[in-house]
C-alpha cells in the first residue's frame, strides 16, 4: 500500500534547541496512524512540518511517494493536507462560517460573497449533523466554548477538502460519547481512502481505532508498531520510558467551606441563560470536580470566578471576605485565589514575553521586584529559575527565553509554578491537563492533590470525565448552566454520564 505522507531524517531547531534530531514517520492511504510521545518529544513540530508551517533543516517530505517542498500551509493544503491544531487557529470576532470561508472550501468557489457564505453555512450544518456536532454557523467564535471551537477546527479541515488529516488531540475536550462518534467518523474516513494521523495521549483511542502507532521521544522516532499486537503497558513504556508516576498519598478529612457559589445567573439571551442558577460549595482540603459536556456554562463559570468582566447575578463567596463579584482580579489573587484557565496561551501566558516575565507578572503590582517602571530583573530571574527547578519545567535553557518556545506540558507547569508561588486558599483549575501526555498530566494532577492536602479548596472543571473521576473527592454534573447532580466518591461513571445526557 503506498504512503500518503512520509517524513524521513527530519531535523529542526528553535533558538539553538534541537526539537527534532532524527524523526521518521509514514502514514498510508486507508489507515489511522497514531503518533504518541511526551510533551516536548517533537510530535507537534514534526506534524507542523507536514502541514507546511515549518521547514525542515534536513530530511525529506513525501506525498504519494513523491518528494515535495512546502513554502507554507497553502502549499500543504494544495496537496490536500489539513491539520487540526491543539491550539486553535481561529479569528475570534468572526463567525463560524466566516472562519471556515477563509479556507475557501471548494463548494464555495466561484460564487459571490453572500452566496459563498450561505453555501458554507449549509455545508457546516450538513457536516456537523454527520459528525454529531451541535454548531451554529452564524455564532461568533469568541462566544464558543473551548470544546465548540475545537469542533469548528475539525469542520474547517474537512470542508477544505483535506484527504490527509492530522488531528492533534482531537478528543481532548470531548465527552466519551462525542469522542467515540468522532473517532468512528475518522475511522470511516480512513476506510474510505483518506490517511488520518491521530496525535493523542489516550491509549484506549490508539488501541481501538489506530491501525499503526509511531512513538517519539526526545525528538527521535522510537518505534512504529501494531497497537493490536502491543499491550498498553508496552506502549506506555515506549512513550515515557521505564519511570512511572508515584502513587498519590491518601487525603485527610475536608474542612470548612472555603468557596460558596449561590444562584449564579447570567442575563437571558436568545431564550436561554448560559449560567442558570449555579449552586455549589468547595471545602478546604477537597477537590470538587465539575463534569459535563463542553458549552454548558463551564467557561463562563470559570470566568466569573477569575474576575473576568461579565454580567451575572448571585453570589461568589470566599470565606472571610464575602462576595467576590465586585472584587478585582488582582485583589482576588491577593486573597489567595489561584487560577489555571483552559486556554493557557490566551489567558495565562504571553508567548512573546520571557519565562521570567510570565512567572513574575502576577506579583509586579505588589512591589516585590521594585517599581513597575524599573524592575529588579536579577531578583525576578532568580525566583523564576527556582520555580522552574521546583516545578520541573523542561526546555528552559534561560529564563530570558520566550514562553512560546515551551511545549504544552511545560507551559502548563510554568502557569502552575506561578499560581502556586504563594500558598493558595482556593484553586480554580479548568481542563488543567488538556492535551498533556501521561507524565506531564500526572505532574499537574500531583500538584492539585498537593494543594488539596495543604488545605486549599480546589475546584476542577474538566470535560474529560476520566480526569474528574481520577482527582475529585466530590463530583458535580453541569448541564444547561447549572449543577444538576452531585456524587460522592467512589462515583458511578454511568450515573454521571446519564445525568449529563438526561438534562441535555
DSSP 346: I
- The pLDDT assigned to 150 comes to 81
Residues in the chain: 504
- The pLDDT assigned to 243 comes to 45
Two domains, one topology: 3-240 and 257-336+422-502: yes
Query: What does the angle CA 163 – CA 235 – CA 82 come to, to the nearest 5 degrees?
Result: 15
Q: Which helix (H) or strand (E) holds 5?
A: strand 3-14
- The pLDDT assigned to 242 comes to 59
Residues 6+ apart with CB under 8 A from 23: 7, 9, 10, 11, 42, 46, 59, 216, 219, 220, 221
Fold classification of 257-336+422-502 is: Rossmann fold (3.40.50)
Cell of 122: 449549509
- In the structure, how many helices (H) and strands (E) does the chain have? 16, 20
Residues 6+ apart with CB under 8 A from 262: 279, 314, 315, 317
* pTM passes above 0.85: no
* Distances, alpha carbon 426 to alpha carbons 261, 333, 407, 446, in Å: 13, 10, 27, 16
DSSP string of 103-136? T--GGGTTS-HHHHHHHHHHHHHHHHHHHT----
The pLDDT profile of the chain, 504 residues, written as one tens digit per residue, is: 679 999 999 999 986 778 899 999 999 999 999 998 866 688 889 999 999 999 999 999 999 999 999 999 989 999 999 999 877 889 999 999 999 998 766 655 666 666 888 999 999 999 988 877 889 999 999 998 777 888 899 899 888 889 999 998 787 656 567 678 788 888 988 998 999 999 887 778 899 999 999 999 888 999 999 999 999 878 877 876 654 434 444 566 889 999 999 999 999 876 678 899 999 999 999 999 999 877 789 999 999 999 988 888 999 999 999 999 889 988 998 899 999 998 888 888 999 999 999 998 877 767 778 777 777 888 889 999 999 998 888 889 899 999 998 887 889 889 999 998 888 999 999 989 876 777 778 888 999 999 999 999 999 999 878 889 999 999 999 988 999 999 999 888 878 877 875 544
Residues 6+ apart with CB under 8 A from 220: 20, 21, 22, 23, 42
SS (H, E, C) 175-235: CHHHHHHHHHHHHHHHHCCCEEEEECCCHHHHHHHCCEEEEEECCEEEEEECHHHCCHHHH
* Distances, alpha carbon 256 to alpha carbons 108, 319, 353, 448, in Å: 59, 9, 39, 18
Q: Exposed/middle/buried for 388, CB within 10 Å: 0-12, 13-18, 19+?
A: buried
Compute how many other C-beta atoms are within 10 angstroms of the C-beta atom of residue 138: 11
Name the CATH superfamily, with its identifier, for domain 3-240.
P-loop containing nucleotide triphosphate hydrolases (3.40.50.300)
CA dihedral 338, 344, 346, 348 (to 10 degrees): 30
Q: Which residues of 356-481 form beta strands (DSSP E)?
A: 426-430, 457-461, 474-479
Backbone angles phi, psi at 302, to 5 degrees: -60, -45
Q: Which helix (H) or strand (E) holds 368?
A: none
CA distance 277 to 32: 43
Where are the domains positioned within the chain?
Answer: 3-240, 257-336+422-502
- The pLDDT assigned to 456 comes to 96
Amino acid at each position: 500500500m503506498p504512503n500518503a505522507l512520509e517524513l524521513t531524517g527530519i531535523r529542526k531547531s528553535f533558538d539553538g534547541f534541537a526539537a527534532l534530531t532524527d524523526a521518521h514517520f509514514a502514514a498510508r492511504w486507508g489507515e489511522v496512524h497514531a503518533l504518541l510521545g511526551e510533551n516536548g518529544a517533537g510530535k507537534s513540530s514534526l506534524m507542523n512540518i507536514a502541514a507546511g508551517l515549518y521547514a525542515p533543516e534536513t530530511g525529506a517530505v513525501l506525498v504519494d511517494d513523491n518528494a515535495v517542498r512546502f513554502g507554507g500551509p497553502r502549499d500543504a493544503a494544495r496537496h490536500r493536507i489539513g491539520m487540526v491544531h491543539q491550539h486553535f487557529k481561529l479569528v475570534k470576532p468572526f463567525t463560524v462560517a466566516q472562519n471556515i470561508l477563509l479556507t475557501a472550501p471548494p463548494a464555495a468557489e466561484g460564487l459571490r460573497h453572500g452566496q459563498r457564505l450561505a453555501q458554507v453555512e449549509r455545508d457546516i450544518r450538513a457536516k456537523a449533523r454527520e459528525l454529531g456536532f451541535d454548531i451554529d454557523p452564524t455564532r461568533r467564535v469568541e462566544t464558543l466554548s473551548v470544546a465548540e471551537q475545537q469542533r469548528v477546527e475539525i469542520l474547517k479541515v474537512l470542508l477544505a477538502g483535506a484527504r490527509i488529516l492530522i488531528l492533534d488531540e482531537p478528543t481532548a475536550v470531548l465527552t466519551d460519547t462525542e469522542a467515540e462518534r468522532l473517532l468512528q467518523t475518522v475511522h470511516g474516513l480512513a476506510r474510505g481512502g483518506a490517511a488520518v494521523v491521530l496525535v493523542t495521549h489516550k491509549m484506549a483511542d490508539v488501541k481501538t481505532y489506530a491501525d499503526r502507532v509511531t512513538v517519539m521521544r526526545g525528538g527521535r522516532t522510537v518505534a512504529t508498531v501494531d497497537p493490536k499486537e502491543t499491550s498498553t503497558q508496552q506502549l506506555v513504556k515506549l512513550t515515557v520510558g521505564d519511570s512511572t508516576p508515584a502513587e498519590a498519598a491518601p487525603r485527610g478529612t475536608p474542612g470548612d467551606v472555603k468557596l460558596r457559589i449561590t444562584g449564579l445567573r447570567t442575563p437571558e439571551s436568545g431564550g436561554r441563560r448560559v449560567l442558570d442558577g449555579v449552586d455549589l460549595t468547595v471545602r478546604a482540603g477537597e477537590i470538587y470536580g465539575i463534569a459535563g459536556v463542553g458549552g454548558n456554562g463551564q467557561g463562563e463559570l470559570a470566568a466569573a470566578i477569575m474576575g473576568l468582566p461579565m454580567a451575572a447575578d448571585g453570589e461568589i463567596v470566599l470565606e472571610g471576605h464575602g462576595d467576590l463579584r465586585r472584587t478585582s482580579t488582582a485583589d482576588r489573587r491577593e486573597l489567595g485565589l489561584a487560577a489555571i484557565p483552559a486556554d493557557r496561551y490566551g489567558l495565562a501566558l504571553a508567548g512573546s514575553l520571557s519565562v521570567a516575565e510570565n512567572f513574575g507578572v502576577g506579583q509586579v503590582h505588589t512591589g516585590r521586584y521594585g517599581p513597575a517602571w524599573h524592575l529588579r530583573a536579577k531578583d525576578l530571574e532568580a525566583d523564576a529559575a527556582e520555580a522552574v527547578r521546583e516545578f520541573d519545567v523542561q526546555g528552559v535553557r534561560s529564563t530570558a527565553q520566550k514562553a512560546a518556545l515551551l511545549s504544552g506540558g511545560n507551559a502548563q507547569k510554568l502557569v502552575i509554578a506561578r499560581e502556586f508561588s504563594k500558598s493558595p486558599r482556593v484553586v480554580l483549575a479548568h481542563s488543567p491537563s488538556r492535551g498533556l501526555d501521561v507524565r506531564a498530566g500526572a505532574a499537574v494532577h500531583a500538584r492539585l492533590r498537593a494543594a488539596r492536602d495543604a488545605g486549599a479548596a480546589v475546584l476542577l472543571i474538566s470535560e474529560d470525565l476520566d480526569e474528574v473521576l481520577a482527582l475529585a473527592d466530590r463530583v458535580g454534573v453541569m448541564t444547561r448552566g447549572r449543577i444538576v447532580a452531585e456524587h460522592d466518591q467512589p462515583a458511578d461513571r454511568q450515573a454521571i454520564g446519564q445525568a449529563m445526557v438526561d438534562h441535555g
